[in-house]
Each structure stands twice: as C-alpha cells, then as structure tokens.
C-alpha cells in the first residue's frame, strides 16, 4: 500500500474526509460521544460522496475521534422534526456504496452508531470496544436498519437477545457472533481500520452489503417469535417497544429486505410516538443532569479518595464496603465486636461467591475484592483513610459518639460521612469539630446493588467535600443526588407518606395484597408491603419506637405492622412478615395470621372495614407522594424536580418508562392531582394531605412543576 498522508485534508465539520494511501478516511469528530445528529448525518453523506468520487481511494474507512465510536442517534433531536438526510437515508447510502466501506470501532458503537457500522461492508473493532443496540432502554427500537441487518449477520435468536436486552457485547463476543469481522489487539481504531483495508484490498474483495446476506436467517424457527412474545407478556407486560422489536425482527426473517426495512420504520415511529419513549428519555437525561448540582460550580476542586473506612459490618456496612472494593478502592471495615466483624466479612464473601456462581465474577476476582476489604476492631486504622462512611445503629447517641471519635482519629481533610436515613446530619457533624468535612452518604439497601446515593449536604458541608463525593458516586457506579437535611431526606420522606397512606388504606378495609397489586400494576416492581418485607419490618419498627420514645408529636401510634415485628415477623429474612415465604423463595404468600392481626387492630381502633376501590388506592398512594415532593421542592431540600425523579427511579423502582415521579405527575395532570389532594385534605385530613402551595400554584397556572 502507498505511504499514508498523501493528500490534503478536505474539512467537513463535524465529519472530515482525508486520503491515506488508497484508503479514503472518513473521521467523525463530534464530542462528547459522536452522536449521529444532523451535522454528522449530512457530514457522513458528503464525506462518503467525496470518497466515492475520489479516484485515488479504492476503499473507504469510517473512524471516530475522541473516546468513542458513534454512540447512537442524537437523543436530543428526538421529538423534533427530523431534518434530512435521515439516518435511514445515510445507512442506505452506505449500504449501496460502490467501494468497500469499513467501520473501525473503538469505545462504544451504540444504537444508530452501530447501525452505521452494520451498513458498512466490513467491521473491525479494537479489543476494548463494545457494541450494542440499547434503543429498548429508551422505549425505542433500532430504527435505521438494525433490526434487519443484525439478524442477517448473527442470526435471529442472537439478534433478538441483543436488541431486547439492549446490553452491549464486547469485541471478542462480537467476533464470535459474527457481528465484527476482526478484532485488533493494540493500536488505535485508525490503525486497525487501515490494516483491515490493506487486507481487503490485497484480497480484491468487492463490497458485500449485509442487506443482501440471508444465510443466517434462512432457517429461523417461526416458533422463536411466539415464544418471545409469551415471555415478554409475562416478564415485561407494561413495556411497549420490546413487543415491536419482536415484530421487526420477525419482519427481517419473513420479508424481503426493503419491505422489512419499511416495517421497521413504521414500528420505530410508533415507538417514537409512545409516552414511554418520552419517559425513558427523561430518565436517561435525569441520571446525567443530577450530577450537575445547582450552585456547585463545575471545576470545583475535589480531594483524592484512595482509601475508605466503613464503620459497622452489618448488612448495610458490608454492602457499602463492597461498593468501594468493586471499584478497586481499599476499605478498612471497622466493627465494635469480633463476632460482628466475622459475620459481616463472611456475608460479603457469600455475596461475592453467589455472583461468581452466576458467572459474573471469577474466583480470582472474588479473592481480589475480598483482599481489598480489611476487617478490624481498631479505629486507629482509620487514621489514613480519605473518607469514612459510618453505617452503625440508627441512634443519634451512637452516631455522635462515633463521629466524636472520628473527629479525633481521622487525618485532617478526611471526609466523614454518615449513612443515616433519618437523623439530623448537622447534629452529627457538630460532634466532630470539623463540620465542613461532614455530609450524609445515604445508600439504599442492598447497597452493593441499588444505584441511588443521596448525598446529604449539611449546613456547613464545604463545596469541595460535596464535589468530591458527587464525583466518587459516579466512580463507584452510583447515581449521586445532592439533597438537603430534613427527616428522611427526599426519598424516604416521600416513601414515608406513601407508607402512611398504604397503612391507612389497610386499616380502612383494603388488604395489603390489594395495595401491592395496584402499585405493581402501576409499574413498581414491588408493592409497598412486599418492599417492607424485603427491607425488614424491624428497621422501621425500631425507628418508630425511637420517635415514640422521644415524644415526637408526628410519631405514628403502634400499628398492626408493629405487632408483626413484635412477633418476630421481620419480613423475608425471617420467612414471615406482611406475607409468608416458603424456604428459599421470595414469592409473597398472603397469610391468614396477618389478616387476623389486621382484623384485631381494626377492632381495637373501632374501625368497621369498608370496600376500597383500586382507584382510591392509586390516588392515595401516588398523589400523596407528589404532594410531598412538591413540598420538598418548596423547601429547597431538593433543588429540581429532576433530582426527585432520579431518586425515585434509582432508589425505589419507580417505573422508568413513566420518567420519574414528577415527570409522571405532569403527564397525569397537576390540575387533577391538586383537586384530589384538596378533596382528601377535606375528607381525610392530616399533614400529608395539606396541599403544597407549589402544587396549587402550578396547577392554577397550568404549567408543569419545575418550569
Ligand atoms: N445523544 C445525545 N447526547 C448523548 C448521547 C446521545 N445518543 N449519548 C450520550 N450523550 C451525552 C450525555 O447526555 C452526556 O451529556 P452531558 O455531558 O451534557 O451530561 C454526554 O453525552 C456524555 O455521556 P455520559 O455521561 O453518559 O458518558 P459515559 O462515558 O458515561 O457514557 C455512553 C457514554 C456509553 C455513550 C452513554 O452516554 C450512553 O449510553 N449513551 C446513550 C447511547 C444510546 O442509547 N444510543 C442509542 C440512541 S437511540 C438511536 O440510536 C436510535 C436509532 O436506532 C435510530
């Protein structure tokens, strides 16, 4: 091949064309992720035309600058009129190119980005690349030929699995599947692509569009689609796009390419119009938006976190220690008793081994992670920790004692965090003598699994400390959301209101099963009472007892749930709570013993049970949450509606296709919600139904909350 860099670069912004020897190189450079927006689409067409017209170019190569190949269509353009050329037009142009086109992939080739690569005639990837069609996660399906070309390359079964999961595959797996033609170990994507071009030109191969290949789909069993539909109806009954994906892949198998592509377009547009698409895209941006904390300037200096201490080796402390070990950060795990320490570390090992049994960790990785966790009874070993997270018993006295000790033991500049879910972070910070270094890191159970981290900013928490922990949240794979100090912070404060209403509904005549069914029909993975059983009834019971003992006027009177806890029915962990559980099973089974406890409680309170409609359950459980969320915004405990949305999406299983609590509330209609809240305020009363001034104002002005 002639030596590189022979012709002058012809700039196309954000896509450039330049020739390297016999290869015309098309470079997409559109930070941060080379999304295929309008500029990239028209640039690709222009660069392709330039390459096809360039007599010196015998093959064309598409590569991307920066950290990644094209990561998809530009999501920000969705919902707006699409300016030509559309992505299907771009890929059709590539598909029919008269010179062979190679895509060389690094970083992630996702969605529309992978569809561009699928329309090329050859695909190579560097070893670390990942390839996927994540559209389903946005309520969509691949709409630029992905559902038609992927099955032609890797077979319908494998294509369905990839498109329905939305999860990317690594380069080696892509090679094994037939998705890429070669994987290059070492060097840049440009170098890998140029080597592939050299091989191609040496072989004298002519372009072989994927659209013309039928070998992999010829013998597809039609039963595949029936089975997938049945499976989806069971596992994802609420979701719109997965069913359309099955239809589209079936079209790839049963129709000629052009007709299949037209069918894909039709199905794609139906998904685009669905409210689920709007909800899921809101959820996508919410996750990223919360990282930008209002009032915390971008570029605020952060501290290095190289070693972390965790206090308390219970379920929560163990889970928190795992979060850091998973990110390769060494952890000193402190407990006050040897027995607790041993039980805690054994539980962590069991947890890792269970993951290894599922094939998600190797035995060596289990050992590596365990080796990062150093159990000790001695606080002095926390002396060089950069951050200490306390996860001890939920009592102000206990926590203040610990923080006093941390103030004495830890090095200057160490960040001291509490995992309290209810206690006043400022009162805890006051015990340290360095409140500027203190904040809340409120993990959600199980801490190693749940993605939410409420980062509780105390009155004196410094900007540096907040910025450090927000960045750390991302490093350990969490969605960190900054919140202010109040009882229960944001998530649990809202949950508390839903819990109060759920309990009241049962007292009035609903059953726990009815309340849970209405919530799961709404889209929550668990109903309120199943969730209580999972979290452990004893946790809330102890907190309620503490509030009652402290004479808190808002403390709830003992309830049937407290009776269950008194009887040792703590939930799943004791195989009995609001429901009973068969050994080794998490399936809730209604229990006559619980029905009797509820009956007895009603009798004691003089309540005659009445039939409660599903509509009432829905309104009382959900609208009360919206009302509380609006009060949280009024008080500035959460800065923006998006923060509340992210908290409920990532901490409490709010259905992502509904966008989040307040995004959903806006769709539901604030006028309707405000009216209903006022009605319940009149009919039922209680602080939870006192209407939020912000809610009433937005409803009266006919504008969404937060705008
Ligand atoms: N369109 C527009 N903006 C995007 C984008 C996209 N497809 N993907 C990412 N971004 C933005 C993010 O919003 C973020 O913006 P910000 O800095 O202003 O907050 C920025 O790019 C960086 O993104 P991340 O913070 O997520 O960076 P990471 O390095 O952690 O992750 C990624 C990179 C893996 C590419 C991740 O961003 C991602 O998964 N993106 C979405 C990919 C996707 O879903 N593609 C399919 C789109 S739908 C489609 O292609 C339809 C087609 O079939 C027709």
* DSSP output for 2-36: PPS--S--B--SSEEEEEETTEEEEEE--TTTT-B
Instruction: Respond yes or no: is residue 172 known to be catalytic.
Output: no
What is the arrangement of strands in the sheet containing 331-334, beginning at the earlier edge strand? 373-376, 331-334, 308-311, 387-390, 415-418, 438-443, 452-456, 479-483
Cβ 32 under 6 angstroms from ligand 1: yes
Q: How confident is the model at residue 333 (pLDDT cuts 50, 70, 90)?
A: very high
Please tell me the distance between residue 289's alpha carbon and the centre of ligand 1 in angstroms. 12
CB atoms within 10 A of CB 13: 9
């509030």: which residue's tokens? 547
pLDDT of residue 666: 97
Average pLDDT over residues 176-194: 95
Q: Is the pLDDT of residue 9 over 70?
A: no
Q: What is the pLDDT of residues 208-221, one digit of tens each?
A: 899 999 999 998 99
Closest ligand 1 atom, CA of 133?
Answer: 46
> Is 74 a pocket residue for ligand 1 (Cβ < 6 Å)?
yes
The CATH number given to 308-483 is 3.40.50.720
DSSP state of 523: T
What average pLDDT does the segment 460-469 reach?
98
CA distances for 492 relative to 421, 555, 601, angstroms: 8, 15, 25
For residue range 367-419, what is the model confidence (pLDDT) as tens digits? 999 999 999 999 999 999 999 999 998 889 999 999 999 999 999 999 999 99
How far apart are the C-alpha atoms of 375 and 309, rounded to whole Å? Answer: 10
Task: Please report the pLDDT score of residue 665 as a whole number.
Answer: 98
Pocket test for ligand 1, best of 28, 36, 64, 72 (most atoms within 8 A of CB): 72
Neighbouring C-beta atoms of residue 3, cutoff 10 Å:
7
Q: Give dist(CA 479, CA 467) in Å, integer.
A: 14
Residue 555 contacts residue 588 (beta carbons within 8 Å):
no
Residue 171 has pLDDT above 50, yes or no: yes
- At residue 7, the pLDDT reads 45
Check pLDDT > 50 for residue 102: yes
465 lines ligand 1 (CB under 6 A): no
Would you state the pLDDT for residue 394? 82
pLDDT of amino acid 5: 40
Mean pLDDT calculated for residue range 489-502 = 95
Nearest to 623 by CA among 668, 655, 654: 668
**Residue-level pLDDT at 707:** 61
In the chain, CATH 3.40.50.720 sits at 308-483
pLDDT above 90 covers a percentage of the chain that reads: 89
Cα torsion through 72, 75, 76, 82, rounded to 10: 90
Residue ranges of the chain that CATH labels 1.10.1040.50: 511-611
| Residue 454 is among the residues annotated as catalytic for this protein | no
Best of 38, 71, 105 for a ligand 1 pocket test (most atoms within 8 Å of beta carbon): 71
CA 530 – CA 581 distance, rounded (Å): 11
pLDDT value of residue 1: 34
Q: What is the DSSP string of 48-60?
A: HHHHHH-TT-SEE
Q: Classify domain 511-611 by CATH number.
A: 1.10.1040.50
Which H or E run contains 699? helix 693-701
Are 244 and 267 a contacting pair, CB within 8 Å? yes
Å from CA of 54 to ligand 1 middle = 33
Considering the chain, tell me which residue range(s) the CATH 3.90.226.10 domain(s) occupy. 15-273
Query: Does the Cβ of 97 fall within 6 Å of ligand 1?
Result: no
- 12 pLDDT more than 60: no
The finding on whether 73 has its CB within 6 A of some atom of ligand 1 is: yes
Of all protein residues, whose CA lies closest to atom 32 belonging to ligand 1? 71
How far does residue 181's CA lie from ligand 1's centre (Å)? Answer: 26
Q: Whose CA is nearest to atom 16 of ligand 1?
A: 288
SS (H, E, C) 262-308: HHHHHHHHHHHHCHHHHHHHHHHHHHHHCCCCCCCCCCCCCCCCCCE
What is the DSSP annotation of 596-653? HHHHHHHHHHTPPP----HHHHHHHHHHHHHHHHHHHHHTTSSSSHHHHHHHHHHHS-
Outline where 442-591 has alpha helix (H): 463-475, 491-508, 512-522, 528-535, 537-549, 560-566
Cβ of 72 less than 6 Å from ligand 1: yes
Q: Rounded to the nearest 10 degrees, how much is the dihedral formed by the CA atoms of 648, 649, 655, 657?
A: 130
CA atoms within 13 A on the CB side of 301: 3
Fold type of domain 15-273: 2-enoyl-CoA Hydratase; Chain A, domain 1 (3.90.226)
Angle at 97 (CA atoms; ends 91, 101), nearest 5 degrees: 80
Q: Is the CB of 638 under 6 A from ligand 1?
A: no
Ligand 1 pocket residue status of 108, Cβ below 6 Å = yes
**515 pLDDT above the threshold of 50:** yes
pLDDT exceeds 80 at position 472: yes
Instruction: Determine whether the shortest distance from the Cβ of 290 to ligand 1 is under 6 A.
Output: no
Is residue 652 within 8 A of residue 495, CB to CB? The reply is: yes
Contacts of 230 (CB under 8 A, 6+ apart): none
pLDDT digits (tens, 9 = 90+) for 645-668: 999 999 999 999 999 999 999 999
Q: Which residue in this structure is represented by tokens 């028209």?
A: 42
**Mean pLDDT in the chain?**
95
Find residue 331's DSSP bridge partners.
308, 373
| pLDDT mean over 564-578 | 96
Give pLDDT tens digits for 612-635.
999 999 999 999 999 999 999 999
**Catalytic member of 77, 89, 135, 507:** 135
For residue 158, give Cα distances in angstroms to 173, 215, 259, 630: 11, 14, 22, 45
Instruction: Give the separation between CA 605 and CA 270, rounded to whole angstroms.
Output: 52
* Predicted local confidence at residue 649, as pLDDT: 97
Q: Residue 33 C-alpha to ligand 1 middle, in angstroms? A: 6
For the CA of 110, the closest atom of ligand 1 is 45
Distance of CA 47 from the midpoint of ligand 1 (Å)? 24
Atom 19, ligand 1: residue with shortest CA distance: 288
Q: What is the mean pLDDT of residues 72-100?
A: 94
Nearest alpha carbon to residue 569 among 604, 621, 600, 529: 529
What is the CA angle 244-249-252, rounded to 5? 130
Q: What's the whole-model pTM score?
A: 0.92
> Number of C-alpha atoms within 13 angstroms, CB side, residue 702?
0
87-122 as b/e: b if 16+ CB within 10 A: bbebbbbbbebebbbbbbbbbbbbbbbbbbbbbbbb
């Amino acid at each position: 091949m002639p030596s590189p860099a022979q012709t002058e670069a012809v700039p196309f912004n954000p896509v450039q064309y330049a020739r390297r020897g016999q290869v015309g190189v098309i470079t997409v450079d559109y930070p941060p992720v080379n999304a295929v927006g309008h500029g990239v689409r028209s640039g690709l067409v222009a660069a392709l035309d330039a390459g096809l017209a360039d007599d010196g170019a015998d093959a064309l190569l598409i590569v991307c600058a920066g950290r990644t190949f094209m990561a998809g269509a530009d999501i920000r353009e969705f919902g707006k009129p699409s300016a030509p050329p559309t992505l299907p037009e771009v890929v059709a142009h590539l598909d029919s190119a008269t010179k062979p086109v190679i895509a060389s992939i690094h970083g992630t080739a996702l969605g529309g980005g992978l569809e561009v690569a699928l329309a090329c005639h050859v695909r190579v990837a560097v070893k670390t690349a990942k390839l996927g069609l994540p559209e389903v996660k946005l309520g969509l399906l691949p709409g630029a030929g992905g559902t038609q070309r992927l099955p032609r390359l890797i077979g319908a079964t494998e294509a369905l699995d990839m498109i329905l999961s939305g999860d990317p595959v690594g380069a080696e797996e892509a090679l094994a599947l037939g998705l890429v033609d070669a994987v290059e170990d070492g060097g840049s994507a440009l170098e890998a692509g140029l080597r592939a071009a050299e091989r191609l030109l040496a072989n004298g191969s002519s372009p072989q569009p994927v659209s013309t290949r039928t070998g992999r789909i010829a013998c597809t069993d039609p039963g595949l689609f029936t089975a997938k539909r049945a499976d989806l109806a069971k596992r994802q009954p609420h979701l719109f796009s997965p069913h359309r994906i099955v239809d589209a892949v079936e079209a790839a198998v049963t129709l000629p390419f052009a007709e299949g592509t037209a069918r894909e377009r039709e199905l794609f547009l139906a998904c685009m119009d669905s409210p689920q698409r709007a909800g899921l895209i809101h959820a996508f941006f919410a996750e990223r938006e919360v990282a930008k904390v209002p009032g915390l300037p971008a570029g605020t200096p952060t501290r290095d976190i190289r070693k972390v201490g965790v206090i308390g080796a219970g379920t929560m402390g163990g889970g928190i220690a795992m979060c850091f070990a998973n990110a390769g950060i060494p952890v000193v795990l402190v407990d006050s008793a040897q027995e607790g320490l041993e039980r805690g570390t054994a539980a962590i090992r069991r947890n890792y081994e269970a993951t290894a049994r599922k094939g998600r960790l190797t035995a060596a990785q289990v050992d590596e992670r365990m080796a990062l966790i150093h159990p000790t009874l001695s606080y002095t070993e926390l002396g060089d920790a950069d951050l200490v997270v306390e996860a001890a018993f939920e009592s102000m006295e206990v926590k203040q004692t610990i923080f006093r000790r941390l103030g004495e033991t830890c090095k200057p500049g160490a960040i001291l965090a509490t995992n309290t879910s209810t206690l006043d972070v400022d009162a805890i910070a006051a015990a340290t003598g360095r409140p500027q270094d203190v904040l809340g890191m409120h993990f959600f159970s199980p801490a190693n699994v749940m993605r939410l981290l409420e980062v509780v900013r105390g009155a004196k928490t410094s900007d540096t400390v907040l910025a450090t922990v927000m960045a750390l949240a991302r490093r350990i794979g969490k969605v960190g959301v900054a919140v202010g100090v109040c009882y229960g912070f944001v998530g649990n404060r809202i949950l508390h209101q839903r819990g109060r209403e759920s309990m009241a509904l049962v007292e009035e005549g609903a059953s726990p099963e009815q309340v849970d069914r209405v919530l799961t029909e709404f889209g929550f993975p668990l109903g309120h009472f199943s969730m209580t059983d999972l979290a452990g009834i004893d946790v809330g019971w102890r907190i309620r007892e503490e509030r009652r003992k402290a004479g808190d006027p808002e403390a709830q009177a003992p309830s049937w749930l407290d009776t269950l806890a008194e009887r040792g029915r703590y939930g799943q962990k004791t195989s009995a709570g609001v429901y009973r559980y068969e050994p080794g099973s998490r399936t809730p089974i209604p229990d006559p013993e619980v029905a009797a406890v509820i009956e007895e409680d009603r009798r004691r309170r003089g309540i005659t049970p009445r039939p409660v409609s599903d509509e009432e359950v829905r309104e009382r459980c959900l609208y009360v949450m919206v009302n509380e969320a609006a009060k949280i915004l009024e008080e500035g405990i959460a800065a923006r509606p998006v923060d509340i949305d992210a908290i409920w999406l990532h901490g409490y299983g709010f259905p992502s296709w509904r966008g989040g609590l307040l995004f959903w509330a806006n769709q539901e209609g604030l006028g309707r919600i405000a009216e209903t809240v006022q009605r319940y305020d009149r009919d039922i009363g209680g602080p939870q139904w006192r209407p939020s001034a912000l809610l009433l104002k937005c409803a009266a002005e006919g504008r969404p909350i937060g705008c």
